[in-house]
Structure 1
Amino acid sequence: MANFKAFAGGVAALVLIAAAGAGIWAWRTADTWRNAVADDAVALADIGAADPEAVARGEYIMRAADCAACHTREQGDFAGGYEIATPFGTLVSSNITPDRETGIGAMTERDFFDAVRHGQGQKGFLYPAMPYTAYARISDQDMHDLWAYMSTVAPVRNSVDENGGMAFPYSIRLAMLGWNMLFFDGSGFEPAPGNAQLARGQYMVDGPGHCSACHSPRNALGAEIGSAYLQGAVVDGWLAPEITSNRHQGLGDVSAADVAEYLGTATDGKAMASGPMAEAVEHSLQYLTEDDRLAMAAWLKSVPGSDVARPEQVDPASPEMHGAALQYEVSCSACHGTRGEGMGDLVPAFDGNHALLSENPASLVRVMLEGARAGHSGAKPTGAGMPSFAWKYDDAQIAGLLTYIRNAWSNAGMPVDPAQVADMRGALAARDKAASGF
């Protein structure tokens, strides 16, 4: 009996120690001491005229952070309403205008810092679809300037139920405290060893640019996998490709100047942005300075890549490749060229285009089934359109055509599986091949 009491007492002590440790861990996760640098008295709606220079700098940070893309819909600028599909349900972006009742007008600057850098909003913990995990690295000065800019935004009355589409138990915001305990690092930006350009590029990529939010794979709980930083991930049916120094499917063989041009214009004369990346260029990246885009390119090209290597080229003399070559000539060559050379800034090239060669061809399959519009920018305003070929080719034909494109000329890529085409056709509810037999 004495031994049992001693054992029970020991277990109780361990439980208390564990509980105390968990409490300290939770406190450190929830503590927003960094944000004490912000004003805690004046609400956003009550701010008078702001410093014009601070406002201009804040607009730049707003562009770099791509705030407008997610928070602007038909309700008005920054009024929220954008639906974000997640594996756990649908989130809706919040109203971040200075409206006092439905927006963030009642927030103080510290409240704003807490939300942006620590994921603690007016209604509780935020979901990491709002990339506070990256914004935690934004500097105090940039946050002050962003706050000044937000004070100049016109208030819009628009009430948003932000997590009404989340399934139970994910609709319970308090659960995000546990998620943060496991995965959130609220410390500020610490540059890796290197020169000033690399440090600036890392800050822009990892902080306001939050590139890893799309380009890094996530685990089953939605947290980024740090060991695969920027090595590519599928987001809403689009592949955000690897953007590291990998030479086959990454940026290793792309010059920093070409990467910077792509970020600023949606094309480098070979690759061309579409889907979410086109939106990122249009709303955000084209507004950055050339120096910042070059710094981002330098950092990306310095990041260690995956071990994905160039595969063996599919035999161009095989019957399958011969048949796909005929398909290419009929359906693709008029725009993309008989040698895959493309049309400069208007139509992407295929030959030597690393964006085509990722192990996962999700974006290529999606574009074939659904069509797409290329990105456009102020510097290159004409973005070509790509029609859907779902009506013309069945799953095996689309897979064969993409396999040909990924292995013709100087390219070498893994064959595309018809099953992946079939799965995406179903997910997109894309039209089946027409019965006429075209």
Structure 2
Amino acid sequence: MKSCWIQCLLALAALLVACTAAVAWLNLRGEAPAPQLWREPGTPATVSSALLEKGAYLARAGNCMGCHTAQGGKEYAGGRGIETPFGVVYAPNLTPDAETGLGRWTSDAFWRALHHGRSQDGRLLYPAFPYPQYTRVQREDANALFAYLQSLAPVSAPNKAHRLEFPFNTQAALAVWRALYFRAAEWVPQASATAEWNRGAYLVQGLGHCAACHAARNAWGGSVEEGLLRGGMMALQDWYAPALGGTHAGQQDLVRLLQTGVSAHASVSGPMAEVVFRSTQYLSGADLQAIAVYLQSLPAPPTPAAPVARATDTRLGAKLYAQHCAQCHGAQGEGRPGAINALAGNPAVNLEDASNVVRMVLQGGYPPATAGNPRPYGMPPFSHQLSDAEIAAVASFVRQSWGNMAPAVGTIEVYRAREKRQH
């Protein structure tokens, strides 16, 4: 009996060693030793103005400032907390400060961080830094981006310690996650596609890291069907990132939406408003057109087979709409061209998930102020005026009128959204 227990323990130990070895190998596959990771500070390489200009453009494309600038803090000095289901990850300092930033980094170390998700000292990085997408960034673009960051004024800003629950705060747990869900990838253009399509795919799949929000995630934070961008709920943010494939909007509508935050049939809000404000409004017309071409080539998500749930109190919804909404959005949901979006046929209104509509009615909001739309029209909050049942009724009315065919909103959905906002 004793020997049987010993054999079982030995077998378990062997299995543990084998699993550990497999995880280690999966985390190191394809990763060649970096030639040089450290350098002496104060000795920046001579770079051309063209390279710095390219790097600044790429930093905009990747919205690096958005995550690496805390509210009220210095640009790129880090400190902004990124909430995840496993805790808070704080963005680090990207300025060339020798002690707290990238002042001692080399371009090899920076490339390894983008391509392999590994820091200068060898630590595995948390995927709140979207290296699962940045791994596709080409080396020449990574070098330009690094040169630009090195040209910034150094800011002394020590990095904050992440606030993650055990075991998610361990490198072992992160190594297992990476073994399951991350693999370094090279960008390979499709020979059968046009140069424009390939450029759009490169931006969307790489620096644009669109899949970080617009791909669903499983319980462990792994992306589901990342390349299809079929949308999903953004963890802890209570915004639904819609599917990007199968859109019926024209290419110019998509370009205008990314450039100004508004188009003939839609406007951006929530996290996407920040993306447009800090990033996409600064992209060239050619790049925006390429992104639109690529997104329109993606397949539409499958249509739900279940019948649409109908609203139970259409009279209340119609009455509330006439009292609070029609003055701006029109009696028939037609909106005001060039100012206020139509609700009839609005893609956000017709999403299967009603989270965005409920949140907008509760808290209101504005599209971003952009060069093409410097004074956007906003929507006031109604959380203090309308009850949960009333918000559910008016939201259902909007989602099922003028040809809209989205499911009705339940009172419990509004209640949960309101509770989340208060906490």
TM over 0.5: yes
Give the AA of the match of 1:328.
Y
Question: How far apart, CA to CA, are the structure 2 residues paired with 1:304 and 1:398?
Answer: 33
Instruction: Tell me the alpha carbon deviations over residues 46-86 of structure 1, each in whole angstroms, 9 at most, x when there is no partner.
Output: 21442111111111111111100011122201011211111
Shift in Å, 1:43? 5.2
Shift in Å, 1:342? 1.6
Aligned positions of 1:175-254 closer than 5 A: 175-192=173-190, 193-226=192-225, 229-235=228-234, 236-245=237-246, 251=247, 253-254=248-249
* 2:325 match: 332
Give the AA of the match of 1:182.
L
Aligned positions of 1:310-321 closer than 5 A: 320-321=313-314
Determine which of 43, 47, 50 is the counterpart of 2:47: 50
Shift in Å, 1:13? 8.7
Q: In the superposition, relative to structure 1, how do residues 231 and 277 fare at CA in structure 2: closer, same or farther (>3 Å)?
A: same
Shift in Å, 1:356? 1.3
Does residue 296 in structure 1 map to residue 296 in structure 2?
A: no
Instruction: Give the secondary structure class of the aligned counterpart of 1:372.
Output: coil
Question: How far apart, CA to CA, are the structure 2 residues paired with 1:122 and 1:342?
Answer: 52
Question: How far apart, CA to CA, are the structure 2 residues paired with 1:231 and 1:133?
Answer: 17
Q: In the superposition, relative to structure 1, how do residues 381 and 34 fare at CA in structure 2: closer, same or farther (>3 Å)?
A: farther
Contact 1:42 1:109 in 2 (8 A): no
Question: How far apart, CA to CA, are the structure 2 residues paired with 1:293 and 1:329?
Answer: 38
Instruction: Tell me the alpha carbon deviations over residues 394-431 of structure 1, each in whole angstroms, 9 at most, x when there is no partner.
Output: 1111111111111111211111111111001111018x
Question: How far apart, CA to CA, are the structure 1 residues paired with 2:242 and 2:29?
Answer: 35
Give the AA of the match of 1:257.
Q
The TM-score, its normalising length taken from structure 1, stands at 0.87
Instruction: Give the secondary structure class of the aligned counterpart of 1:354.
Output: coil
Q: In the superposition, relative to structure 1, how do residues 13 and 168 fare at CA in structure 2: closer, same or farther (>3 Å)?
A: closer
Give the AA of the match of 1:180.
R
Instruction: Give the secondary structure class of the aligned counterpart of 1:85.
Output: strand
RMSD over aligned Cα, in angstroms? 2.8
* 2:373 match: 380
Contact 2:68 2:77 in 1 (8 A): yes
Question: How far apart, CA to CA, are the structure 2 residues paired with 1:205 and 1:406?
Answer: 30
* 1:273 match: 268
Q: In the superposition, relative to structure 1, how do residues 132 and 162 fare at CA in structure 2: closer, same or farther (>3 Å)?
A: farther
* 2:86 match: 88
Does residue 100 in structure 1 map to residue 135 in structure 2?
A: no
Q: In the superposition, relative to structure 1, how do residues 212 and 424 fare at CA in structure 2: closer, same or farther (>3 Å)?
A: same
Q: Which runs of 5+ in 1 are unaligned?
A: 246-250, 431-438
Q: In the superposition, relative to structure 1, how do residues 100 and 228 fare at CA in structure 2: closer, same or farther (>3 Å)?
A: closer
Q: Which runs of 5+ in 2 are unaligned?
A: none
Give the AA of the match of 1:190.
V
Question: How far apart, CA to CA, are the structure 2 residues paired with 1:133 and 1:92?
Answer: 18
Say how many residue pairs are matched: 417
Contact 1:376 1:383 in 2 (8 A): yes
Q: In the superposition, relative to structure 1, how do residues 309 and 44 fare at CA in structure 2: closer, same or farther (>3 Å)?
A: farther
Question: How far apart, CA to CA, are the structure 2 residues paired with 1:44 and 1:296?
Answer: 38
* 1:65 match: 62
Contact 2:257 2:263 in 1 (8 A): yes
Question: How far apart, CA to CA, are the structure 1 residues paired with 2:337 and 2:36?
Answer: 50
Q: In the superposition, relative to structure 1, how do residues 30 and 397 fare at CA in structure 2: closer, same or farther (>3 Å)?
A: same
Q: In the superposition, relative to structure 1, how do residues 409 and 190 fare at CA in structure 2: closer, same or farther (>3 Å)?
A: same
* 2:77 match: 79
Does residue 155 in structure 1 map to residue 154 in structure 2?
A: yes
Shift in Å, 1:173? 3.3
